[in-house]
């Protein structure tokens, strides 16, 4: 009940006032600056449905590079004790590239569109119908993103095709096997503090609400999550993100219907000469 | 007497040289300090810039040029674009000394060719603020508005016979 209240308050705030586009769970159409490098460490935690009371963790180190004003690359890896493992171990690696192909900028306002492609290798067996390249699956993904930002509010819509590369159900779980799906998201953000900027040292506080969905296209399974998050930006270069995902609807077999997320990232501007 | 006149003349040439002092650059497409910081740091890498003061709330930057340095306005624009944003306005504070300007005509100032648009013919003296109205230095709408004031091919290409022409107004 308390959780529902929290979510509705957050949704209300976001819908009424309108944030920013540095989403916690997804990407905006904007890129990181050219010649900048961002280092990020994320952790996802959940209680998987197949244990009575066990918490599992995934650690995801990531490096983002601004190749040019239009192209950015991301390389990431993951370590976890998920997929029936006793302890933490290396499980996956991922490459991601984003190309911003449209930009209409005005003062305190922009509309941008980008295309992205990603590929991942994962050590894990195929167990779930939820498909993702965050560590669960070996696969490929490609899609488009559009972001509209007006003053302190930003909204992004994204849609992509995702395909996992396992050929068969090695664990013989007897569940319908899925190879592909459409991932989509609607993400909104609002800049709450500071009300007005006077210095780069002011801490920035952003609220986010994202809707994250997947529709398996080869079997009739799907899910839709709501993901509220808060973000603090220190000295205009270090970000701390805290978020949660709750399943709103769906019938897909997943590791867990709720998960929590924390990440810390730092921007090194003009890191590349 | 002749010698004195000569000295006065030389001094006036020396002190009367036009000079780019500073510029106010407004960037568009950003609202957060993180974005502003990216532009700020990107601008500071340019060798002809002495100092950058950011006005985060208005996403604008006061840029002080190094004295006597070769100023490149295209590089200013490129730094903003590299950071992921666009230039909405670039106003350059220039010290003029008896520079006669004519509407829709070019004049060389400090080694840069300026083509003045939408102005009255006049002689400029002292500190004046000029605004660059070239493509990608102003919003598209503004650029189109200024294209009505000239038929010069250089307004489309930014060049004439291989020389960079900056189209400006007062």
Cβ within 8 Å of residue B104, ≥6 positions away: B115, B116, B117, B149, B150, B152
Facing B84 at nearest CB: one of A30, A191, A200: A30
The predicted model gives A211-229 an average pLDDT of 95
**E strands, A23-138, in order:** 37-46, 56-66, 71-80, 89-106, 109-122
Q: Is the pLDDT of residue A224 over 80?
A: yes
The ipTM of this complex is 0.71
pLDDT band for B92, please (50, 70, 90 cuts). Answer: very high
The helix (run of H) or strand (run of E) holding residue A113 is strand A109-122
The Cα–Cα gap between A240 and A247 comes to: 24
The Cα–Cα gap between A36 and A268 comes to: 6
Position B115 scores a pLDDT of 92
The Cα–Cα gap between A137 and A149 comes to: 33
Contact A269 B139 (CB under 8 A): no
Q: Is the pLDDT of residue A142 over 90?
A: yes
The helix (run of H) or strand (run of E) holding residue A8 is helix A2-17
Position A15 scores a pLDDT of 40
pLDDT band for B1, please (50, 70, 90 cuts). Answer: low
Enumerate the residues of chain A whose CB falls inside 8 A of the CB of residue B84: 30-34, 66, 69, 100
Percent of chain A, pLDDT > 90? 63
Cα of B163 vs its chain's centroid, Å: 16
- In this structure, are residues B96 and B112 in contact, taking their beta carbons and an 8 Å threshold? no
Residue A48's nearest CA partner among A13, A85, A23, A12 is: A85
Q: Is the pLDDT of residue A4 over 80?
A: no
Top residue of B25, B41, B46 to mutate, by most chain A CBs within 10 Å, is B41
Position A17 scores a pLDDT of 35
């Amino acid at each position: 009940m308390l959780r529902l209240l929290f979510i509705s308050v957050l949704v209300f705030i976001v819908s009424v006032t309108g944030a920013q586009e540095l989403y916690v769970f997804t990407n905006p159409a904007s890129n990181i600056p050219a010649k900048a490098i961002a280092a990020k460490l994320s952790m996802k935690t959940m209680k998987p449905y197949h244990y009575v009371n066990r918490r599992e963790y995934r650690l995801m180190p990531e490096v983002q590079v601004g190749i040019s004003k239009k192209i950015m690359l991301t390389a990431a890896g993951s370590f976890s004790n998920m997929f029936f493992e006793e302890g933490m171990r290396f499980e996956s690696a991922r490459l991601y590239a984003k190309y911003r192909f449209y930009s209409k900028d005005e003062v305190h306002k922009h509309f941008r569109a980008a295309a992205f492609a990603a590929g991942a290798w994962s050590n894990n067996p195929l167990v779930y119908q939820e498909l993702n390249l965050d560590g669960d699956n070996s696969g490929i993904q490609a899609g488009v993103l559009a972001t509209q930002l007006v003053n302190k509010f930003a909204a992004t819509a994204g849609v992509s095709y995702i395909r996992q590369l396992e050929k068969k159900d090695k664990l013989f779980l007897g569940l319908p096997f899925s190879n592909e799906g459409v991932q989509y998201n609607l993400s909104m953000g609002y800049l709450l503090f500071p009300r007005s900027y006077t210095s780069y040292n002011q801490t920035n506080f952003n609220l986010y609400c994202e809707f994250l969905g997947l529709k398996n296209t080869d079997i009739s399974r799907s899910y839709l999550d709501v993901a509220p998050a808060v973000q603090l930006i220190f000295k205009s270069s270090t970000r701390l993100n805290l978020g949660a995902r709750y399943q709103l609807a769906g019938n897909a077999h997943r590791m867990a219907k709720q998960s929590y997320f924390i990440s810390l990232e730092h921007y090194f501007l003009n890191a590349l000469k | 007497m002749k010698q004195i006149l000569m000295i006065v003349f030389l001094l006036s040439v020396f002190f009367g040289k036009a000079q780019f002092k500073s510029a106010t650059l407004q960037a568009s497409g950003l609202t957060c300090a993180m974005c502003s910081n990216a532009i700020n740091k990107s601008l500071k890498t340019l060798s002809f810039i002495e100092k950058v003061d950011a006005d985060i709330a208005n996403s604008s930057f006061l840029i002080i040029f190094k004295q006597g340095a070769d100023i490149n306005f295209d590089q200013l624009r490129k730094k903003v674009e590299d950071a992921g944003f666009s230039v909405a306005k670039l106003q350059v504070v220039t010290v003029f000394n008896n520079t006669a300007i004519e509407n829709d005509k070019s004049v060389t100032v400090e080694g840069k060719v300026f083509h003045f648009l939408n102005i009255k013919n006049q002689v400029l003296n002292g500190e004046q603020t000029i605004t660059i109205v070239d493509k990608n230095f102003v919003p598209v709408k503004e650029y189109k508005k200024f294209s009505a004031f000239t038929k010069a091919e250089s307004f489309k290409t930014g060049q004439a016979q291989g020389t960079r022409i900056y189209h400006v107004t007062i």
